[in-house]
Homo-oligomer: A and B are copies of this chain.
Amino acid sequence: MPRTTATRIPEKMSTDWSQVQELMSDVLVGHVGLVEDDGHPVVFPTAVVLDGERLLLHGSTGSRWMRRLASGVPVSVAVTSIDAVVVARTAFESSLSYRSAVFFGRCRRVAGEELEAALAVVTNRIVPGRVAEVRASNSRELAATMLLELPVESWSLRISSGPPTDEPEDIAGGAWAGNLPVVRTYAEPVPSPDLRPGIGVPASVTARLADRVRV
């Protein structure tokens, strides 16, 4: 349920969950905000995957901030795609096209029997099909995995798109206006220096090369 009512430009607000799902299929990383004991805010990035109506946040067990999140403090997670530079006829009307979802709730650490399945969701989201190509995680690895679940209590989605909206007197002038779309792709894979000879690029990685991604 959207937490934030439309205090900003209304056409930028969306309450369409399918647009949130589309955004989350384009973006691998979210920015997580929490409040420190001293009342100051902290923001940091981490891998974020939408799994049904929960987010899965994957980070380092060594991260003090991830451990604080695991204690259940209130959290805000923003996931953003920058889609274009909007080049207007004036500096004032120039902007960025973007989609940005903000989620609110409290995290808990995923552990025990749920962990392996949740980790597979994250791994297959980042490189689809990769789970089937690698060995299962062992108990040492699972114990060292910091995977948080955020049941989404509330959210908001803002979308800014379309061409510049210049004033008539500027449209009548001589300046150009348009959009510069941002495209994100993968470059050719770089094999690890310690890769043994004869091991080819797997299907999961080859498939990613065909994708246009937003991260």
By a beta-carbon cutoff of 8 Å, the part of chain A in contact with chain B is 7-9, 28-29, 31-35, 39-45, 47, 60, 62-64, 74-78, 80, 82, 84-85, 87-92, 94, 96, 98, 100, 102, 104, 119-120, 123, 126-127, 130-131, 133-135, 137, 141, 144-145, 163-164, 166, 170-196, 199-202, 204-205, 208-209, 213, 215
Contacts and interface: CB of A to CB of B under 8 A. Distances in A.
24 contacts: A8-B64, A28-B85, A31-B78, A41-B76, A45-B78, A45-B100, A47-B96, A89-B134, A89-B135, A91-B130, A91-B137, A92-B141, A92-B144, A94-B123, A96-B215, A166-B192, A172-B196, A176-B201, A178-B195, A179-B192, A180-B187, A181-B187, A182-B187, A183-B186
Contacts of A44: 78, 100, 102
Contacts of A91: 119-120, 123, 130-131, 134, 137, 141
Given A127-B87, A189-B87, A74 B39 contact: yes
Contact of A187 (B63, B177, B183): B183
Number of copies: 2
B80 A45 contact: yes
Nearest to A29: B82
Nearest to A47: B96
Nearest to A12: B60
A107 to B, nearest CB: 12
A165 to B, nearest CB: 9
Contacts of A133: 175-176
